[in-house]
Structure 1
Amino acid sequence: MVSIPPQGDKITLANAKPFIAGGLLLAIGLLAIDGQGPRQWLRAASPQNAEGCEKIVQSTAQLSREQLAQLLVVPERDPKENVRKIVAEPYCSLPQLQVRSGVVSEREAYPMAWDPAVQLVILYENDEYAGYRFRFQ
């Protein structure tokens, strides 16, 4: 049991050691129970939108609700330049893939301004807009 010094006595380092040790044990215990604590802190400090990105193009790029609304009415097979007039440069480019036989597709990711964990991935084939999908992280 820890005794509290009578009033008038100063708290010295020797008197404070049990409190410091108790605080450290409590912190270690909470981290052990959580199990994810340090990893979540480290993940929160690193950019979360970089997962799957091949190359970061514009680290501050975000898509507003207005831009999303404009993009959703762009017809497929419109030139890539028309889409870029709406969305500008992407946050990152994703690895190319082959959706249809003989056609290599480019993909670009745009985090949503209101929820960066949600990205809009735009697909281009031969410099034409080929569609989009949402990616949730």
Structure 2
Amino acid sequence: MVEILDRLSVLMLSALLLGTIGFAGWRSWRGDFVPAPTSVSRKSTPCVQVENSTAKISRSTLTWLIDVPIGSDGQAVMKRLNIPYCFLFNDTTLTKAAYPCEWDPATWIIVTFQNQQYAGYDLSFNHSRVDERL
């Protein structure tokens, strides 16, 4: 009896796992699945310096960014992303670059570089462009 219950529980867990993977795959294929960011912020983060007032990040670029491994060459990542809208923080060891989303300019993707390496991204909501507030 115990052996039957063990096999049954393994089958149920396997089905649950396959269903979860299948659902995530389906949402990814449809294009509406985005993994959770490293952190989410709703506070206003002022730009230290505006670089490119027309910069935006597209869905395809965000999809690419999600798959970039932490620790990748920061210069290669920045080259692919192009010049950011602004820098939130910029010094020799830590850089945070802001890219408004093409489909929702109030939502920004904040890309972090540490020691010349890609360190992840965050989402920041409810922004107006810095130059609109001046």
TM-score per shorter chain, which class? 0.5 to 0.7
| Greater Rg by CA | 1
User: CA offsets per residue over residues 60-92 of structure 1, 9 Å max, x none?
Assistant: 000000000011111011111221232111000
Instruction: Give the TM-score, by structure 2 length.
Output: 0.57
The answer to whether residue 35 in structure 2 is matched with residue 58 in structure 1 is no
The answer to whether residue 103 in structure 2 is matched with residue 109 in structure 1 is no
Question: Aligned ranges for residues 86-101 of structure 1 at < 5 Å?
Answer: 86-96=80-90
Within 1, Cα distance between the matches of 2:45 and 2:65?
A: 24
Structure 2 spans left out of the alignment, 5+ residues? 1-43, 127-134
Task: Report the AA paired with residue 94 of structure 2.
Answer: S
Q: How many residues align?
A: 83
Question: Aligned ranges for residues 1-137 of structure 1 at < 5 Å?
Answer: 52-96=46-90, 104-137=93-126
Within 2, Cα distance between the matches of 1:68 and 1:90?
A: 13
Q: CA RMSD in A?
A: 2.0
User: CA offsets per residue over residues 17-75 of structure 1, 9 Å max, x none?
Assistant: xxxxxxxxxxxxxxxxxxxxxxxxxxxxxxxxx95100001110000000000111110
Q: Return structure 1 stretches of 4+ with deviation > 3 angstroms.
A: none
